[in-house]
Amino acid sequence: MVYLVVTMKKDPTAPRPRGRPRKFDREAALQIAVRMFWRRGFEATGIQDLADAMGLAPPSLYAAFGDKKTLFREAIAAYQAGPGAFARRAAEDGGPAREVIAASLRAAAHAFTDGEHPPGCMVILSTTNHGPGADDLAAWLRTLRTDGTQADWTRRIERDVADGLLPAGTDAAGLARFYMTVLEGMSIQAGDGADRAALEAVATLAMTAWPAQITQSTASPRI
């Protein structure tokens, strides 16, 4: 007896079954993490919270981003490249220190109160309260602030002193720290509900503490 085996070929024109999983959008998931860490802080944002918001199972989140600290560091980098780039943009024209700092504070007043994202600065706020397990992240963010914006302001002030725009005895590091403190305070005020006008007023008042220029011809305009 001979048996015939019939092989059915799949029709290439037949519709594919519905309900296939959507392609994972890693960038969209990262932006979700940015907002959650920004609003809640590192400590209060759990892996399950992140996974639920991204529509992932925790193992899939780990596979895509690594552990929570690795994801947090990537989220900070995404913030700095986006909403947190205001200070870097303000410094791009290479003007005198007063112009750069005044522009940075104005930009901060806008960025910290932009309704498109959480208030304040993610780099300042996201590890304000943390346990011992996040000490390394808090130290890392502190380094980002002091070796980034504050260090840039210090160098610009020193350059202006060398160029004769500011008195020889100007404490460049102390002046930069003062304005960094103003910036950090504006971030906290934004988190407490201060609006853009209120923060702009703070920025304007802060600039009145700037040392007197040596020559009026090179003085920077008021904020």
- DSSP of 95-111, one letter per residue? --HHHHHHHHHHHHHHH
CB 51 within 8 A of CB 61: yes
| Residue 115: CB atoms within 10 Å | 6
Q: Which ranges in the chain are annotated with CATH 1.10.357.10?
A: 84-213
Comparing C-alpha atoms, which of 178, 156, 23 is closest to residue 90?
156
The token pair at 160 is: 């202006």
Average pLDDT along the chain: 85
Q: How far does Cα 159 stand from its chain's mean position?
A: 27
Top-confidence residue, 34 or 95: 34
The pTM of this model reads: 0.80
**CATH of the domain spanning 25-81:** 1.10.10.60
Report the C-alpha gap between 43 and 187 in whole angstroms: 19
Residue 11 has pLDDT above 60, yes or no: no
How far apart are alpha carbons 72 and 75 in whole angstroms? 5
* pLDDT tens readout for residues 58-116: 999 999 999 999 999 999 999 999 999 988 888 887 789 999 999 999 999 999 999 99
> Which amino acid is located at 195 in the chain?
D
User: Is the pLDDT confidence value at 222 over 50?
Assistant: no
What CATH number does domain 84-213 carry, 3.40.50.450, 2.120.10.70, 3.30.1280.10, 1.10.357.10? 1.10.357.10
pLDDT, average across residues 109-127: 92
**Residue 15 is encoded by which pair of tokens?**
């519709």
